[in-house]
Structure 1
Amino acid sequence: MAVLTAQLARPTLGGIDNPHLSAALDAFAWAIPGESETKRSPGDSALSTHWPVEANGRAIAGQRMRAFVDDWYDRIHISPAQLDLGNVVSTQTTAVSLWNAYREPRTLLGVSGLDEGIELSGQLAAPLTFTALQERIWQVAVTPDGAPVLDTTLAWTFDNGATAELRITANRIIAWSFAPDWADGVLERLTWATDILQSESGVEQRRAIRLAPRREFEAMLYVEGRERQLLDLALFGWGSRTWALPVWPDIQLLDQPVALGATRIACATAGLDFAVGRLALLRGESAFVGSAHETG
């Protein structure tokens, strides 16, 4: 059997060839020098940081590119921005949301433009704090009370001068809930307007001045007691207002009462003056119980 001559090589630990080092030392946690030691040089003088190091600095002309953040953030968003309510015969309530798109809190200082017949609810009174990117919802109600023609703007003003505006347009109409006296009947009158041009030879040219004939109703009213007082007060206070007059010949009685909050009423519409976007009058047993609603 051959005999080989060799030498035992000791492993190097930590870059030091020391036979007294043990691998068990790796089980101990590292000791990090304190801040006071790391910031001092061997001469016990404080060290200072010189970052970043500038070398061969030069100015470069450029332009900042706009992004989506510039179009959407750092402003106040309102939705919707306009309410076109058309004919208002009863209280119309619409939810309006305001979103603080600023990435910092904003304070609402107040709301201007609250004319007669416009009510605002759903939030606390100003001053009111909006946190960053917070949305709040108000309920804007327009009642039949107030000016006949409504064209106003509500403005929410914030502490940095930003404003959110809501334009409201409407025509306030009063429902005519007084019933006619059917004993004398109801007279319906249609009036056209035509312009007739005649030449020297006697040839005539006729053209309509109105797109549709003027429609009028004439009837005697049957009112007594409290209804008579209501009629006098209504004509005195709202005589110059626009009234929603029902088409009396198209009256019909409902087979069953209408539930509170119902959005659909079963009735006959064939051959009658019902149309989408127009008004329908609901009347109870007296003129005190009546309201007009838009059909859909």
Structure 2
Amino acid sequence: MAPLTGHLTRPAVSGYGNPYLSRELRELTPERYEPVVYSLGRLHARPLQYTGPGVSVSSIVHAPRMARSSHDDFYNRIRVRPQRLNLGNLATSQVRPLTLWNAFVDQAQVLATLTLVDGAGLTVSPRAALPLPFTPMQEHILDVAVDANGPAVIDARVDLGFTGLDGVSVQVTGLRMIAWPVPCDWSRPVDESLTFLTDIHYAYSGSRTATPLRAAPRRSIGFDVVEWESARRVLESMLYDWSARVWSLPIWPDISLLSAPVAEGALEVPVATAGLDFAAGSMSMLWRGVSDYELVEVAEVLGDRLRLARPTTRAWSRGTRLYPCRNARLVTAPSIRRLSGAVVRLQARFDIDEPCDWSAIAPAATYLGHPVLEHRSDENTDPEAAFERRVSTLDGDVGLVAVQDQTELAWQRVSHAWRLQGRAARAAWRSLAYWLDGRAGLVWIPTMTDDLVLLEAVTAVGEALTVEWSGAARFLRLQDGRRHIRIALRSGQVLYRRVSAVNELDIAREQLLLDAPLGVAIAPRGVQMISWMTLSHLASDTVELSHVTDSQGLADARVSFVAAGREEP
């Protein structure tokens, strides 16, 4: 039975005991409180004689009525929970409860009619036949069954008619999805791209302003599919019916295998979630075959398990595949290559249709307020570097060509590659990509090459480095991008310093004056590498990750960094 809410009232009357009187009025005696015109000594009874046409007796009867309160705002009506049934994204058939409560304290009600408007694929049924009586304060539950088959957009209305009362309507909304159950072909990598958006403007001097415009990057995934026989027929049938709709797409690299069986009706799935793309509110897939799978909605992600929003509908054995899923749409209808009468190959690319949040983590090493990318670029492919100029050209076709270097800066562009092994390495790379936020984030990029070669030992209090002649004094002249160095020692220690001056000693030697002592004595044989560092940002708002195998194996990533110009301290 539902509880009644009430409160104790206290009347406001004259005299003592009235909580609404001021202190001064409460201190008055009754004689002083009553006005003089109403004192008993001034009241006199006088006889009157009526000489009109007849005797008229007038009486005023005040009918009592109950004062309104919060009780009237809550009770004496039909309550429906929820008032709007939002089904969200549906990938499987479901049944949702719709609760009706007769909130009349002393009146019985009757549900006489139940009408479903625009409800293709929906069924609403009470748990007893109509007309359905409600005793005072009684609840009844209606079952709203939603089939996975039907229109892509669910926008239905349930009209409830009660005898003697105004009708009650409940809006039912949602979006039907279908799972993509056909696994990818790992003979080719699964390509993933993250596209940020940065509003960036460069001044004529070379300084810049950069504003990130997206809270989370847009994400897309491309992969190949090779199927034959029954799986091929299922694949083509799905594409024929669902190409333009929303799919629940498994994130293929983030596969896990169940370490323990999951019973029917379970609300938890055991899995180590670190570094994987599980998210509360998203879907996950238990998969054993193209037609043998189940989508479950994740309510909470814990370190060793997933908590589900609704129980599983069947049992799943140990070793069943588990994938995190994301809502996605096909970028274009894939072109199917028929390798034979039974075998097809296609390339599918999906745009993720929901925000994909990830923790943004900057590199641990810092220098002058900006992180330093200490990761050495993978040299499986040769690193590339270019020193671009922002040149404006004026050509009238009839005379000499006028060329002007606008900023007089070398806009260094360097490539950087990662070879990632395992989930932790991929998760760290993704955190770095989210921190860089497209072209918005600034990071120090060392060349990781032998740019300077130390010739003479330096004491701990020394502030000058004598190095092999490399043209630093003649050509670099402490320009932006060539006045900060990274000194890597063979002991593993790394030092960062700013070069405050550079002098040419002779044809074989140059001397660099540093802004601070090194704090440690170093000899030429104790130096592993001295490299220039350039404050840079990503050259593009799009970064790509190529999954060669699943998340426990190998992945490759390659980006380019561009110097930040006058932003360098």
TM value normalised by structure 2: 0.39
Instruction: Give the direction of change, closer, same or farther, for the CA distance of 1:64–1:253 in structure 2 (3 Å limit).
Output: closer
Give the partner amino acid of 2:95: T
**Which moved further from structure 2: 98-107 or 168-177?**
98-107
Say whether 1:88 aligns with 2:90: yes
Give the partner amino acid of 1:166: V
Structure 1 partner of 2:222: 218
Instruction: Give the direction of change, closer, same or farther, for the CA distance of 1:69–1:267 in structure 2 (3 Å limit).
Output: closer
Equivalent residues of 1:121, 1:138 under 8 A apart: yes
Shift of 1:244: 1.2
Instruction: Give the direction of change, closer, same or farther, for the CA distance of 1:68–1:217 in structure 2 (3 Å limit).
Output: closer
Secondary structure of the corresponding residue to residue 225 of structure 2: coil
Shift of 1:107: 4.3
Structure 2 partner of 1:209: 213
User: How far apart, CA to CA, are the structure 2 residues paired with 1:58 and 1:214?
Assistant: 76
User: How far apart, CA to CA, are the structure 1 residues paired with 2:70 and 2:296?
Assistant: 43
Instruction: Give the direction of change, closer, same or farther, for the CA distance of 1:128–1:218 in structure 2 (3 Å limit).
Output: same
User: How far apart, CA to CA, are the structure 1 residues paired with 2:93 and 2:132?
Assistant: 27
Structure 2 partner of 1:239: 243
Q: CA RMSD in A?
A: 2.6
User: How far apart, CA to CA, are the structure 2 residues paired with 1:271 and 1:165?
Assistant: 45
Say whether 1:258 aligns with 2:262: yes
Higher RCO structure, 1 or 2 (CA under 8 Å, sep 6+): 1
Report the structure, 1 or 2, having the larger strand content. Answer: 2
Q: Larger radius of gyration, structure 1 or 2?
A: 1
Q: Where does structure 1 lack aligned partners over 5 or more consecutive residues?
A: 1-54
Structure 2 partner of 1:167: 171
Secondary structure of the corresponding residue to residue 160 of structure 1: coil
Shift of 1:60: 3.5
Q: Where does structure 2 lack aligned partners over 5 or more consecutive residues?
A: 1-56, 300-569
Q: Residues 239-262 of structure 1: CA distance to partner in whole angstroms, max 9, x if unpaired?
A: 111011111111122234422111
Give the partner amino acid of 2:101: W
User: How far apart, CA to CA, are the structure 2 residues paired with 1:206 and 1:72?
Assistant: 53
Structure 2 partner of 1:268: 272
Structure 1 partner of 2:101: 99
Shift of 1:236: 0.8
Identity %: 35
Structure 2 partner of 1:123: 127
Structure 2 partner of 1:77: 79
User: How far apart, CA to CA, are the structure 2 residues paired with 1:271 and 1:221?
Assistant: 25
Shift of 1:69: 5.7
User: How far apart, CA to CA, are the structure 1 residues paired with 2:195 and 2:62?
Assistant: 79
Secondary structure of the corresponding residue to residue 144 of structure 1: coil
Equivalent residues of 1:116, 1:145 under 8 A apart: no
Structure 2 partner of 1:248: 252
Equivalent residues of 1:110, 1:158 under 8 A apart: no
User: How far apart, CA to CA, are the structure 1 residues paired with 2:200 and 2:58?
Assistant: 91
Give the partner amino acid of 1:210: R
Instruction: Give the direction of change, closer, same or farther, for the CA distance of 1:101–1:195 in structure 2 (3 Å limit).
Output: closer
Secondary structure of the corresponding residue to residue 65 of structure 1: coil
Secondary structure of the corresponding residue to residue 245 of structure 1: strand
Equivalent residues of 1:89, 1:291 under 8 A apart: no
Shift of 1:192: 2.6
1:229 to 230, 233, 241: 233
Secondary structure of the corresponding residue to residue 250 of structure 2: coil
User: How far apart, CA to CA, are the structure 1 residues paired with 2:156 and 2:126?
Assistant: 20
Secondary structure of the corresponding residue to residue 116 of structure 1: coil
Equivalent residues of 1:78, 1:165 under 8 A apart: no
User: How far apart, CA to CA, are the structure 2 residues paired with 1:274 and 1:64?
Assistant: 56
Equivalent residues of 1:114, 1:154 under 8 A apart: no
Equivalent residues of 2:114, 2:161 under 8 A apart: yes
Structure 2 partner of 1:287: 290
Secondary structure of the corresponding residue to residue 226 of structure 1: helix
User: How far apart, CA to CA, are the structure 1 residues paired with 2:74 and 2:180?
Assistant: 48
User: How far apart, CA to CA, are the structure 2 residues paired with 1:176 and 1:127?
Assistant: 43
User: How far apart, CA to CA, are the structure 2 residues paired with 1:220 and 1:282?
Assistant: 21
Q: Residues 168-195 of structure 1: CA distance to partner in whole angstroms, max 9, x if unpaired?
A: 2322221111101112231222223322
Q: Residues 202-242 of structure 1: CA distance to partner in whole angstroms, max 9, x if unpaired?
A: 43222223322222222111321111111111111111110
Equivalent residues of 2:111, 2:160 under 8 A apart: no
Report how many residues are paired: 241
Equivalent residues of 1:177, 1:291 under 8 A apart: no
User: How far apart, CA to CA, are the structure 2 residues paired with 1:69 and 1:258?
Assistant: 47
1:137 to 128, 133, 141: 141
User: How far apart, CA to CA, are the structure 1 residues paired with 2:231 and 2:110?
Assistant: 53
